[in-house]
Structure 1
Amino acid sequence: MPEHPRSPYRGDTKRAARIAEEQKYGAHHASYRVNRAHDQDMAVGVMMLPVVAAVFLTMAWTATPWHGTYSDHWDRLTVTGVLVSGVSGLVCLVLTVWLAVPLIIGRFRARGAWVHVYEHGAIAEREQGSLYAWPHKNATARFVSWDEPWDSGTRRRPQLWVTFLVDGETICFDGRTGEDRAALSELTVALRTGEVPEEIGVLRAMDAPVPF
């Protein structure tokens, strides 16, 4: 399938195609790359963990008797400082192993978040990761726009919220950057939500659904 200049089209994955066939979603219409900015933010945040771990562990090391800084002034050592810095560094190190390493591996293996739209349903998928599948009749899609408090003002946050009628869970596709907004504008049409967003007003990011 050829690429669209605004949001790249591509075929659905084998996993998505199998589920769509099992659920009788019908013909595949298009697939959209979503939440690019969210992925980048998460990657930067997790990649900082090794740096923070190194800082705290260095602080703990410099406060020990084995480091030259205090080797001649043991009376200046603070056990509390060593423990706080050391424990903080170890926590960051554990988080690095638990979060950063899998993320690095995953970024080489996965291709981000996609929404596959079919005649009778849709699938949100992170390849080799989480997946949501729903018939159109079993979910409501809202194209919204809200203002996030940012620095001394606000910034616009267009988003698409999909709420599942079975359990009330909501997943979110963000439109913070130009690429994401382009994909979002097409996805709203594909999911029949309308092209004009519903204005919500000022909203804190913690009160909005987390991007899928």
Structure 2
Amino acid sequence: MKQLIFVIALCLIYAGSIVVKNQTYESKKGREVPTLFKYWSENGTPVETTQATKRDLVNYVIVTGASEGGNLVKAFVAPDFARQIKNGARTLVIQGKERIPGVVTYMTKEASLLSGLHELHVRFGDHQFQKESVRFGVQTGLVKDAIVVKREAISTRGGVAHTFVVRGEVVRKQEVKIVGSNGFFYAIGEGLNDSDSVVLSDKRYLKDNQKVLVVDGGVK
């Protein structure tokens, strides 16, 4: 008798759980659960942008040398860098808020047979270094009146340089021609205009004419 009562109780519990699940399903029926993809499709994919500006761009390479004290810094550079550097080229050290200008005074014409590197000397005017490592930029060229954007705004994925320009609520994929660069910026010869708002954030999943939601005020 006790076993029969136990079996009946289990059956009632099971039947009750089915009723509850059915009621839950009916209450959710016709109500769509919001997803991130649906939110983006309705409101736009969030993007961070930067503004293209027309100005001169200094091309430079970054070199690390050493000072034995005084204003002279010696460094050794690879042939690829050496071909870009000329005697008299301007240099710059940035230490916090301090900017220390210098000039290339000497570079060997031939690479060392032992190391394969060229020796480079830079003088930094009246500045006196301690015995320390010194990291500095060496000017290798100047692109005048170019459209300049942050390097992160340009993608070379697929072998073609391109970016996404914000036009109202959508982005348009735009191929560009790079005519100069340094460690932070590209100089663009074709494809962008002054004051264009271009996507700075991840562009891997953006498509031409895709709706976007700009989440910044135009990062400079």
TM-score tier (shorter): under 0.3
User: Normalized against structure 1, the TM-score is what?
Assistant: 0.20
Which structure has the highest helix share of the two? Answer: 1
Larger radius of gyration: 2
Higher relative contact order, chain-length normalized (CA < 8 Å, sep 6+): 2
The structure carrying a bigger strand percent of its residues is 2
